[in-house]
């Protein structure tokens, strides 16, 4: 049975592809799981066997089985903080972009107005 939803993943050439053993299989599809490496929050870097179904193909069972045990608590806190910092920076860039787009639109209106008056 799946422990949780499939986290975001990253390709790791040393741990990828289909799991070749007959057990475990995902509960819903009874297929061999895929080897994956988590790339999300405090799970970053943990290897797991996940449901082979893609989200756009139907229901994904999630994590079938973790290969690596949980990280030490201090590492989990550090990973969580790093991801929080990443998301804060990303949000700042989005806000900056929106403010820039508003300013450009305002200047474009001003240019159009001046252009019409000059003509």
Other Cβ atoms closer than 10 A to 66: 16
**What pLDDT, in 10s, does the model give residues 44-54?**
999 998 888 77
Report yes or no: 45 and 37 within 8 Å, Cβ to Cβ: yes
Q: Give how far Cα 11 sits from Cα of 45, 77, 119, Å.
A: 11, 23, 58
54 token code pair: 């893609």
pTM: 0.64
Other Cβ atoms closer than 10 A to 28: 15
**What pLDDT, in 10s, does the model give residues 3-13?**
577 888 887 88
Q: For each of the chain's 119 residues, which pLDDT tens digit applies?
A: 345 778 888 878 888 777 777 678 777 778 888 888 999 899 999 999 888 877 666 677 777 789 999 999 999 999 999 999 999 998 888 788 888 888 888 889 888 888 888 87
- CA 39 to CA 95: how far, in whole Å? 25
Per-residue model confidence (pLDDT) at position 112: 87
Per-residue model confidence (pLDDT) at position 70: 94
Give the DSSP H/E element, type plus range, for residue 32.
none
């Amino acid at each position: 049975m799946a422990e949780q939803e499939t986290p975001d993943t990253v390709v790791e050439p040393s741990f990828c592809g289909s799991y070749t053993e007959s057990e475990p299989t995902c509960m819903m599809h009874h297929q061999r799981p895929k080897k994956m490496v988590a790339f999300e929050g405090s799970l970053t870097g943990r290897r797991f066997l996940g449901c082979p179904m893609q989200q756009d193909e139907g229901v994904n069972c999630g994590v079938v089985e973790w290969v690596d045990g949980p990280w030490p608590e201090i590492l989990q806190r550090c990973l969580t903080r790093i991801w929080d910092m990443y998301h804060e920076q990303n949000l700042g860039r989005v806000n900056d972009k929106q403010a820039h787009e508003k300013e450009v639109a305002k200047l474009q209106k001003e240019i159009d107005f001046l252009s019409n008056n000059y003509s």
